Each structure stands twice: as C-alpha cells, then as structure tokens.
Amino acid sequence: MFLRRLFLALCFFTPLARAADMPDLVSPENRIVIGENDAPWRELAAELRAHGNVTAPFTENRYLPFKKIPVVFTGRMRLSAEGALSLQYESPEKQLMLVDARGVMLRDSRGRTREVPSDPRANAATTALLHVMRFDLDALSRNFELYGRRDGDTWQLVFDPRPGELSRVLNRLVVTGKDAHVKQLEMRKSALQGIVIVIGEADTQVKFSDEERREFFR
Amino acid sequence: MEPARQKFIARLILFVFALVGAFWLLRLDYGRKISTNVIDLIPVDERAPELSLVRSLTDQQQARVLLLALSSGSEAPPAEAVSAFADSLRRSPTIAEVEVLGASETRNALGTFVFERRFDFLLPRWLAEKHAQFSSTGRPASEFSTWLAGDTAEQLDHFLTRAESVAFQELLPSDPLLLVPSLVEKIQSLAVSSSGEVNDHALVWAIVRDSPFSEAGQDPVFGAIESALSEARAIASEVELRWTGVNRFAAESKARIKAEISWLNTASLIGVIGIACLFVRRLWKVLHLVPVVLFSTLGAWVVTTMVFERVHILVFVIGSLLAGVAIDYGFYLYMQPALRPDEPYREKLGRLLKPLLTSCLTTVIGFSLLFWSELPLVQQLGVFVSAGLISAVAVAMLYFAQLDRAFLETRNFSPPSSPRARYIVRPLFALALIVAVVGPWRLHWRDDIRQLEIPAVELRANDAAVRQLFGDAQERTAYLTHGETPALARAALERFTTWHDAQFPHAPATSAGYLLPTEAAWTQRGTLLNALADFPEKLRPALDTRGYTAESFEPFFSAWEDLRAAESPAYASLFTDIRRVLTGPLGLLFHLDENGGPSWFLTLADHPPGAEPPAETSTFGVAQLESLNSLFSRYRADTAKLSVIGLSIIGLSVFVLYGLRRGVRIFMIPAGSCFFALGLLGLLGQPLNLFHLLAAFLGVCLSHNYAIFSAENARRHEPPPPSIRISALTTGISFGVLAFSRIPVISALGSTVALIVFTALLMVELEPLGQTSGHKKPPAN
C-alpha cells in the first residue's frame, strides 16, 4: 500500500516538482521585456495565432493540499480563433467549462448551464488565461513578469503575477510548448496546489460547425 | 313665488353650493388624495391572498427599485467614480439603500456570514437529509456515525470530480460536509442575477425612500441621480449612465396623461362649439350651459373626494366625460320653448320634470350600483357620475330659474318626412338588428392592465436594455410561498421545493429561503448532534481511506467540537440574523416578520411557467402582470353583473313610469344601440375589456335620456326635440375625440360611447320616418 502511494505521489507530483525547479528559468537573463527582447516571442505568438481554431485532447491534473493524489480529468479542448477556450470534460464526469470574454460558464451532463458569478480574483485569473490563449504579450506584460527560454524546438514561458488580485489566486503560470504548439499549461497556487493541463496532439485550422459552436461555445 | 324671490333663492343656493364646494376642494392635499399608481386600482383588502401579496410586493418592494448601469466607453468606469456615484446616492435623503453589485465587500460580508454560521443555518437541513437517507438503509441507529463518515468522504470525492470544485479548494478543509458549496450551487442563479458581472458596466442597485408614484419619489430622486452622476464625472468625465425605475414610468405617464387631458379637452371643446355654431341661433347664449357643467363637475369632485380616502386619477379622466351627460339636462331644459309667451318658469319646469327626473334618477340608480363593485376605480366612478348627475339636474333647474328668458333658439335640421323614407329606413333597421343579434356572439375579452397607461416605447426599450445588464433577460418563473409565521412559510417552502424539483428536474428552483433551516430540522439538530458524538473519529479514517490527509481537515474537527460545546441559539433569532445580512436585491426575495407574523419567500426557477403548485405548498406562480390581468377579468365579470342588474332596474322603472307600450319603445333605444355597438365591435374582431363595459353602461344611460326626452314627442307623433340632436352630437363628438387617445382604455371608452350615442341618435331620428304614419309637424323653436 505504502509503495503504491509513493509511486502515485512520485508520478503525479512530478510536473509540479519540475515547475518548482525553475529558478534557473526565472532569472534576469530570461526576462522578456516588451519592446526590447520580445521579437522571437512575438514571432511565436504570431505562429500560434495563425493556427485559427484548434482542438486537442487534454489531461488535467488537479493537485490539492488535502489530497495525496491529484484528481485527474480528461477531455477535449477547443480554442476558437476569437480566443474562447472550451474544455469538454469526458471523465470522471461529462461536463463543459467555457472561458470567454463574458466570463466562465459551466454546463453539466444534463445540459444545465450555469454562469459562474464574477469575482475580482476569478476575473483576473480568467482574463489572464484568455490573454495566454491569445498569446497577447502586451496585455500579459501588464499583469505578469514574463520569462522565456527556448531549447531547440521546445520552449517555455513563465508568467509571474504582479502584486494584486491575480497574485492572490495564482502564484505562477507556466506554458510549455514544442514548435508552434502549446503542450502544457500549469497554473500553480502553491507547492502543493495547482493545475497542470497536458495537451495532446492538436488539430489546427479546424472549422467548427454551427452545431459545435452552439454546443461548446456561446 | 315671486320671480324676483325665485331668482334670489336660486342664486343664493348656487352661491352657497359653489362656496362650500370650493372651500372643500381648496383644503385638499391632492398629492395624498389623488393616486396615479396602477396598483391602487386593486383593493387593499383584495380577497385572494396571493393577489394581495402580489399587490404588496409590487407596490412596497419592487416598485421602489432603481437599476443604474454606469459605463465609460466600452469599459466599466473606474472604481473610484462608481464609489463616488454610490456615496452621493447614499447621502441623498430620497434614497433608502444603495448597493454596488459585485462589490467584494458585500459579497465577502455575506460569504463570511454564511461560512461562520454554517452550522446554524446549513447544518440542520444537511443533518436531517442525511438522517433520512440513513434511516432508509434500515441499518441500526448506532451505525449512523460510521455511515455518515463514509458518505461524507464519498460525497467529497464526487464533488472534486466537478469542474467548479476548484473554486472551493481553500474552503474544503473547514467544510468537508460541503455545506457552503451546496448552498452556493442551490442559490447560484440568485447570485448571478445580482452579481453585476457585466464587464463593460458597473451596476448599482438602489431603493427609493418614497413611493415612486408620489412627487417625493420622482423629481427629488431624479435630482439625486443627476447629482451623483456629476460627482462620478468629476472623477472620470466620460462616465455615462443608463438607468430605469418605476418612477421614470410614473413621471412620464403623469406628464403624458396631463398633456392628453389638455388636448382632448381642447379638441372636444372645438367640436362642441362647432356643433353649437351649426345649431344655435345666438351662440353666446350657449354660455348659460357652462355653469351647469361646471357645477355638475364640482358636485362630483366634492362628493367623490369626501367619500373616498384616495381617488385614482383615471376617475377624473373618465369622469370628465360626465360633462357629456350633464349637459343633456341643460339642453333639454334650455331648449324647450314655452307653451305660451307668459308661461312661468315653474310651470314649464313642472311639465318637463317627469322626463328630467326619470332620466336622471334611473341613470343614477344604475351608476350607484357600481358602488358595490369590488374594484375601487369602478366604485369611485359610480359615485362620481351619480353625484355629478344629481348636481347637474339640480343646478340646471336652479340656474335657469334665475334667467329672465330661459330659452335657447335653434336652427331646425329635421330630416324631411317622406312616406318613401321607410323603404330605406326599415332595411337599415333590419341590418342593424342582424348586427345587434349576431355580433355580440363574436365578442371576446382581453383584460390587460397595461392598457391603463400610455405605452412609453423608448422607456420600455431602455428598461429592457438595463434589465438585461442586470441579468433579468432570461426566461424565469417566479413563485411566492407564504405562511402565517416565518416557520410555516419556511416549512411550506420545503414542501414546494420537493414538488418543484420533481416537476422540473432539469431546472431546480432557487430561493434565499434555502439559507434558513426549517423549524423541524432546527429542532432535530441537537438530537442528531448528540447521536454523532464520535463522528470526527469515524470521519478521519474514512477520509484517509479515500486518499485524503485527515490532518488537513483539522479546522473542521475543531469547529465541530466547538459546536457541540456551544449553546444553541433560538430559532427566531435566525430571522433577525438573516435579515441583517441579506440586503440589497437579495433582501427583496423574502419577508420574515420578526414578530412571528405572515411571511413569504420568493423562489426563482429557470423555466417558462408550467404546472401550478398544489395548494398544500402554499405557493403560487407570480406572473405579476398575468395575476393582475386575471384580477381585472374577475372585476370585469363583477362589473358586468352589476351593469346587468343596473340596466334591469332602469328598464323596470321605465316600464313602471311609462307603461308597457311606451316603455318598450324607450327601452329599445338604449338597449338596441348598445347591442348594435357591441355587435359591430364583435364583427370587427375588436377585443373588449372592462372599460368597454363601463363605456357601454355610460352609453346606455345617455341614450336612455334621448329615449325619454323624445318619448313625449313620439306620443304626439312629432319629431324628437332638437335638444336631443345637439346633445347627442356634442356628446358623440366629445367621446369620439377620446377614440384618438393614446391611452388604450380611454380610446376604448370614447369609441364605444360615441358609437352608442350616434346609433341612439339615428334610432331616435329615423324611427318616426320608418313608421307608416310619419310625424305631423316639427316642434316650434
């Protein structure tokens, strides 16, 4: 029993541990200053935006301070060219979470839709996530300290919130990618609390049917 | 009596009447006496409790709400500007309460309260439900703790698989029972509608101190809002405001009604003068009819304001038409020539007294019956018209008594008498008969309280846009659950929730009442807590088994021990606490009488109106407009009943006074005109309402006058007296003008009365032509 728990803990805590071991990335030489050394990142942002609508399978691991193992969600994400992010959860429960300019909306397996009431902190986090999805560096730099590093065709961006509402709900946001594809999103609250979304093979330039738009967006 | 003495007494009585009337009216406080509130049309002691509640809710609560949306271009204005705006409103004595929606202080205060008092407000229901579930398993009572611990850990697991659980992560170590998340889920839609979550607007909710239908609730409030906007603009000059409130509609409606009365009266006056110019030889002599109308109106105002504590403005709008009836007596008395040059006034009055009094008193009897209506407007109208008519006939008799020669000469426009005319007239009567018989069967009714007001299209559009910003756009059904005490109301809410969630499983109901436990659950809490003495010991391993670190939940275990050691507060104290914390829009969702009196809860559900809750839930659907409309339907039916009784009495009195043969002729004219008018409206597909009914009643009384006044001439085979023609034409034109009113009910009233009056005039004029013998000669002028 103990070995099984240890194995699970090692497996699932690895992403957070890796993100925690990032002091070498969060250093002055990797800092991105808008208008000074952001040119390569703007190229990447332009390439990401050129993907248009994107869909990809994802696995979301939620790390909780009071739970020894993370809660694992799987599903399919859809990112519209307009910047709305739709997470269609398949397990453990079928449900939908939509993050767009109007806020966060939830839809359960029975089709019941609920809008999540706004909260300054939640709004800050939602807005940040949307800016990340759009790779809007100018907007992001207003709320975050930006750090980035390339290693061959892989790259990693770290967003450290500036003091304010956002910093109370988010300690660090890390985006990892390969070529012009985002592979992992990590939103960390503390060493033991955070969300890691691992993104699978993405389809780009997807044309969403009207039915898909109705079902997964608003 | 000497003519000089007769004149003196008549003038003295008129002077005293004018003096007393003016004194009474001058000392009235018109702001308090006259109401413009549509809700005042409903009796305060309405017999149906649900309608009484809707009346109270609409008048006392919702009508005072102001919804204010501030913007700055395409963004929300700066928080400082919003604060300055709200603070300015708070300082205004006209505003009772102000809340910036979505403001973190309010939400945090509510959140803190719910969290800190979760064991008082939320635990009782949770325990009761869990105990019921446990009892259904059939396991021994000693296993309750063990079962509950396992179930708690399982439910926690399940909750964490839901996407939104991420928002409660910090809370769960203190609340593994999921008391707060469950409540949040249940009242989610209430929170959304009051969250102010529109990105490009800041939303401010306020309550005005005075009634929005009073002066104090209008201009001073508009001033306070202007002032608040100026203060916001001093911080951010580009701030824009869109707002809505019942007082805007009330002020606009009042202004429009005033303008409406003004132009209607002017148009009516022009029409009446035109008719007078056409028919009267010496126009200036028409001025002698003005005092009759003025004194009649004075009498109506004085008596109505004496009898009723509060009178609705519509009574005066509709009642101003009294002039059309009142002038009939003046015309009749004034246009009757003397039988001989030296005939004294008293003698002339003596021979005209029977038709005059018959006409007046039978109409008064009919209108007096309306006093027994349940609807205040109809009661007030009955008294207004009855008092006005009695004043009119009395004043006409007195006024003409003090003139040297009380006779108004007219031009004669009698239709030429020809034996062949009957070949045209009879088919016309036959056609009218078909319309009168067939048409009424095609009538249908539509009672809509909105027809009482002038449609304010721009304000409505603005209202809809602002309400959409406040989250009121989605289709919802509202329910009102009531009880004789707060505890009974809460118990009824529990029964209603059970019914509703079974009936509409995909759209559960949401109520602020869910925050309050039922009295039964509250009483049970102590017993169940005693039975759960070892619950923490059972829960720790249960959590551990499911992969939790039990020590992370120490805040909960500590709070649980404190709860068991603490003394339980009284159930009634929860009402005070909940009222203190649920302020702003949420405060309008319930009424808890702290003295243990009648209370209610409003429940919202995201579905269109459907099945009505059963009686045992003490709940009804609050489609407010529909409730008021159905109320109007009921009042219309009551008024119809009274009208039929009134008309029967009028008809009966005519038969008694004039005998069967003449009685039939007299009764046929008003009854025939009324049925013809209603038949025509029916054939044209015009939906009718309460005001068509009142108009028909008024029209019948007017045409009844013409029938009686022409009866004497008909007996002598003479054409009808010219006074009828002038009277009917002036009345018809006055009412016809009202058909162009923008207030739908006034338009309905005007067109119906005009139709009946013109029909009656045609009947009176054409009837002799249709007879085989025709009439002998025109009366002398």
Report the gap between the CA of A69 and the closest CA in chain B (Å): 7
**Strand, helix or coil at B631?**
helix
CB pairs below 8 Å between A and B: how many?
A: 68
Q: Which amino acid is at B402?
A: Q
Q: Which of B14-18, B25-29, B144-148, B470-474 has the lowest mean pLDDT?
A: B470-474
Q: Spell out which residues of chain B touch residue A216, defining contact as CB-CB under 8 Å.
A: none
Question: Residue B476 pLDDT > 60, yes or no?
Answer: yes
A68 touches chain B (CB under 8 A): yes
pLDDT tens figures, B274-302: 887 888 878 788 888 888 888 998 999 99
Across the interface, whether the CB atoms of A67 and B160 are under 8 A apart is answered yes
Can you tell me which residue has the tokens 């301070």? A65
Map tokens 């332009």 to a residue: A46
- Per-residue CA distances from B342 to B114, B251, B339 (Å): 94, 58, 8
pLDDT the model gives residue A122: 61
pLDDT at B697 over 90: no
* Residue from B101, B161, B544 to probe the interface with A (highest A Cβ count within 10 Å): B161
Virtual CA dihedral for B195, B198, B202, B208, nearest 10 degrees? -50
Q: And the tokens for A145? A: 């300290």
Q: Which run of H or E residues covers position B67? A: strand B65-71
Predicted confidence at residue B38, as pLDDT, reads 63
Which pLDDT score is estimated for B454?
61
CA distance B254 to chain A (A): 39
Q: Give the residue, B241 or B718, on which the prediction is more confident.
A: B241
Give the pTM. 0.64
Distance from the A9 Cα atom to the nearest Cα atom in chain B, whole angstroms: 11
**How far apart are the C-alpha atoms of A100 and A85, rounded to whole Å?**
6
Using the CB atoms, write b or e for B704-735: b if 16+ within 10 Å: bbbbbbbbbbbeeebbbbbbbbbbbbbbbbbb
Q: What percent of chain B has pLDDT over 70?
A: 88
Please indicate whether, in this complex, the C-beta atoms of B192 and A117 are within 8 angstroms of each other: yes
> Angle at which helices B519-531 and B123-137 pack, to 10 degrees?
70
Annotate chain A with three-state secondary structure.
Answer: CHHHHHHHHHHHHHHHHHHHCCCCCCCHHHECCCCCCCHHHHHHHHHHHCCCCEEEEEEEEEECCCECCCEEEEEEEEECCCCCEEEEEEECCCEEEEEECCEEEEEECCCCEEECCCCHHHHHHHHHHHHHHHCCHHHHHHHEEEEEEEECCEEEEEEEECCCHHHHHCCEEEEEEECCEEEEEEEEEECCEEEEEEECCCECCCCCCHHHHHHHCC
Match 């063990």 to its residue by tokens: B146
Are A66 and B192 an interchain contact pair (Cβ–Cβ within 8 Å)?
Answer: no
What is the nearest CA distance from B549 to chain A, expressed in angstroms? 5
Residue A9 pLDDT: 34
* Stretch B403-410: mean pLDDT: 80
For B97, B395, B479, B483, B708, the CA distances from B601, given in Å and listed in that order, are 21, 56, 8, 9, 58
Backbone angles phi, psi at B148, to 5 degrees: -65, -35
Q: What is the pLDDT of residue A131?
A: 78
Q: B686: pLDDT confidence band, cut at 50, 70 and 90? A: confident
pLDDT confidence tier of residue B230, bands split at 50, 70 and 90: very high
Q: Is the pLDDT of residue B626 over 70?
A: no
Give the pLDDT of residue B88.
Answer: 95
Partner residues linked to A194 by β-bridges: A63, A188
The mean pLDDT value for A12-27 works out to 53
The whole-angstrom separation of Cα A180 and Cα A186 is 18
Per-residue pLDDT at B704: 84
Residue whose entry in the numeric block shows the structure tokens 């034409």: B729
pLDDT at position B781: 41
Asked if B161 and B553 count as a contact pair (C-beta separation under 8 A), the reply is no
Residue of A106, A119, A189 lying closest to B164 (CB–CB): A106
Chain centroid offset of residue A64 CA: 17
Kindly state the average pLDDT of the residues B742-757: 85
Pick the closest to residue B209 from B60, B52, B83 (CA basis). B60
Sheet containing B240-245, strands listed edge to edge, beginning at the edge strand earlier in sequence: B95-100, B202-208, B65-71, B240-245
Long-range contacts of A202-206, Cβ-Cβ distance < 8 Å, separation of 24 or more:
A202/A51, A202/A54, A202/A55, A202/A56, A203/A54, A203/A55, A203/A56, A204/A51, A204/A52, A204/A53, A204/A54, A205/A51, A205/A52, A205/A53, A206/A52, A206/A53, A206/A54, A206/A55, A206/A78
At A12, is the pLDDT very low, low, confident or very high (cuts 50, 70, 90)? very low
User: Which tokens sit at B254?
Assistant: 């009042």
User: What pLDDT does B187 receive?
Assistant: 76
**Hey, what are B236's tokens?**
């951010």
Q: Are B468 and B460 in contact (CB under 8 A)?
A: no
Instruction: Let me know: does B305 contact B24? Beta carbons within 8 Å.
Output: yes
Cβ-nearest to B169 among A64, A95, A102: A64
d(C-alpha B592, C-alpha B690), whole Å: 36
pLDDT at res. B650 = 79
Query: At residue B309, what is the residue type?
Result: E
**pLDDT tier at B52 (50, 70, 90 boundaries)?**
low
State phi, psi for B213 to the nearest 5 degrees: -95, -5
- Interatomic CA distance for residues B155 and B136, integer angstroms: 18
Give contacts of A 86-125 with B, CB under 8 A: 87, 89, 92-93, 95, 97, 101-103, 106, 110-112, 114-120, 122
Query: Which residues make Cβ contacts (< 8 Å) with residue B777, sequence separation at least 6?
Result: B718
| Nearest C-alpha in B relative to A112 | B506
Give the CATH number, domain containing residue A196: 2.50.20.10
Q: Cβ of B153: how many Cβ atoms within 10 Å? A: 23
Q: How many domains does chain A have?
A: 1
User: Distance, in angstroms, between B161 CA and closest chain A CA?
Assistant: 6
In 3D, which of A59, A100, A98, A64 has the Cα closest to residue A82?
A: A100
Structure-model confidence comparison of residues B475 and B71, the more confident one: B71
On average, the pLDDT of chain B sits at 83
Are A114 and B189 within 8 A, CB to CB?
yes
At residue B164, does pLDDT exceed 70? Answer: yes
pLDDT given at position B229 = 95
Distance from CA of A31 to the nearest CA of B (A): 30
Report residue B411 as tokens: 């031009």
State the average pLDDT over residues B476-489: 87
Q: Write the CA distances from B484 to B88, B337, B596, integer angstroms.
A: 40, 69, 8
Task: Please list, in sequence order, all residues whose beta carbon lies within 8 angstroms of the beta carbon of residue B745, skipping any fewer than 6 positions away.
Answer: B314, B451, B452, B689, B690, B691
Q: How confident is the model at residue B190 (pLDDT cuts 50, 70, 90)?
A: low
Burial (CB count within 10 angstroms: exposed 0-12, middle 13-18, buried 19+), residue B658: buried
Binned at pLDDT 50, 70 and 90, residue B193 comes out as very low
Query: Of B231, B198, B193, which is closest to residue B81 (Cα–Cα)?
Result: B231
Contacts for B715 with CB less than 8 Å, ≥ 6 apart: B662
Residue B255, classed as helix, strand or coil, is helix
Buried b (16+ CB within 10 A) or exposed e, A38-56: beebeebbeebeebebbbb
- The residue-averaged pLDDT of B164-170 equals 82
Cis omega (within 30 of 0) for bond into A92: yes
The pLDDT, as a whole number, for residue B780 is 42
- Give the integer Cα–Cα distance in Å for A196 and B99: 38
Who among A64, A117, A193 is closest to B195 (CB)?
A: A117
B151: confidence class by pLDDT, cuts 50, 70, 90: very high
Which residues numbered 127-186 in B keep a CB inside 8 Å of some CB on A? 160-164, 166-167, 169, 172-173
Task: Identify the weakest region by mean pLDDT among A16-20, B102-106, B254-258, B330-334.
Answer: A16-20
Alpha-carbon distance B546 to B20, whole Å? 89
Whether the complex's predicted ipTM is more than 0.85 is answered with no
pLDDT at B49: 58
Specify which residues B518 forms β-bridges with: none
- Reported as a single tens digit per residue, the pLDDT across B326-346 is 777 888 888 888 878 778 888
Instruction: Give me the mean pLDDT over the A47-54 stretch.
Output: 87
> What local confidence, expressed as pLDDT, does residue B707 receive?
87
Q: Could you give the CA distance from residue A73 to residue B162 in angstroms, rounded to a whole number?
A: 9
**Which pLDDT belongs to residue B345?**
84
Q: Which residues contact B31 (CB under 8 A, 6 or more apart)?
A: B214, B215
pLDDT of residue B152: 95
DSSP reduced 3-state for B704: helix
Lowest mean pLDDT among B163-172, B556-565, B765-774: B765-774
The DSSP letter of residue B410 is B
Is the pLDDT at A16 greater than 50? The verdict is no
H/E element holding B635? helix B624-683
Q: Mind giving me the DSSP string for B71-140? A: EBTTBPPPHHHHHHHHHHHHHSTTEEEEEETT-HHHHHHHHHHHHHTHHHHTHHHHHHHHHHHHHHHT--
Separation CA A127–CA B444 (nearest Å):
56
Mean pLDDT of B27-55: 68
Domain span including residue A206: 2-216
Which residue has 């109270």 as its token pair? B56
The whole-number average pLDDT for the span A123-151 is 80
**What pLDDT is stored for residue B329 in this prediction?**
84
Give B342: exposed, middle or buried? Use CB within 10 Å, 0-12, 13-18, 19+: exposed
Q: Which of A4, A5, A67 to mutate to test the interface with B (most CBs of B within 10 A)?
A: A67
Of A64, A89, A103, the CB nearest to B163: A89
Highest mean pLDDT among A2-16, B455-469, B631-645: B455-469
First to last CA, chain A: 46
| Per-residue pLDDT at B582 | 81
How much of chain B is in helix, strand and coil states, percent to nearest 5?
A: 70, 10, 25
Beta bridge partners of A186: A174, A196
B24 pLDDT band (50/70/90 cuts)? Answer: very high
Kindly tell me if the per-residue pLDDT of A167 is higher than 90. no
Say yes or no for a CB contact (<8 Å) between A68 and B197: no
Q: Which residues pair with A175 in a beta bridge?
A: A157, A185
